[in-house]
């Protein structure tokens, strides 16, 4: 049975896993709807990366002696950007997909910031910081794509 610190860390990680699964699904939906092959590739790559991030954190939860199932958002951080993405942007253009994905990833960053504000054992902080940088890089890439889309 995990100690109190490990239980708290496991809950923080479960929240991140839930956010990452939302992000993974949101990017997958955006990839299915994107008109541009290049943008579809970006969305698909981000979706796969979020799946890898979530799987790594699920393994960390197990290492803490907890069950990774039941991942859900705690603390009521509104993750509006990924909620019903498909319904909000169909049949919009690729620019709308980019905007929605940036908004969704901004919500994902809030979950990372919340996690990093908590005490975390071992190498978890480094993993979470690394993943957060990956999310930031995706936002930067999407911002560049959005600028290119508007000027192109």
How is 92-147 classified by DSSP, letter by letter?
A: --HHHHHHHHHHHHHHHHHHHHHHHTS---TTHHHHHHHHHHHHHHHHHHHHHHHH
Task: Classify residue 76 as left (phi > 0), alpha (psi -120 to 50) or beta.
Answer: left
The model's pTM: 0.85
Task: Classify residue 59 as left (phi > 0), alpha (psi -120 to 50) or beta.
Answer: alpha
Q: Which fold has domain 4-151?
A: Ferritin (1.20.1260)
Domain coordinates of the chain in residue numbers? 4-151
**Distance between CA atoms of residues 149 and 97, nearest Å:** 11
Per-residue pLDDT tens over the stretch 53-109: 999 999 999 999 999 886 554 443 444 444 455 555 455 688 888 998 999 999 999
């Amino acid at each position: 049975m995990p100690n109190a610190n490990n239980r708290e860390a496991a809950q923080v990680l479960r929240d991140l896993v839930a956010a990452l699964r939302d992000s993974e699904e949101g990017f997958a939906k955006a990839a299915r709807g994107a008109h541009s092959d290049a943008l579809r590739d970006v969305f698909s790559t981000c979706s796969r990366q979020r799946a890898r991030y979530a799987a790594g954190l699920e393994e960390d939860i197990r290492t803490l002696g907890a069950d990774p199932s039941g991942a859900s958002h705690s603390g009521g951080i509104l993750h509006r950007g990924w909620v019903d993405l498909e319904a909000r942007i169909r049949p919009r253009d690729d620019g709308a997909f980019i905007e929605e994905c940036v908004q969704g990833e901004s919500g994902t960053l809030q979950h990372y910031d919340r996690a990093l504000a908590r005490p975390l054992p071992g190498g978890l902080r480094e993993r979470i910081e690394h993943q957060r940088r990956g999310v930031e890089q995706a936002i930067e890439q999407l911002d560049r794509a959005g600028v290119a889309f508007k000027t192109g």
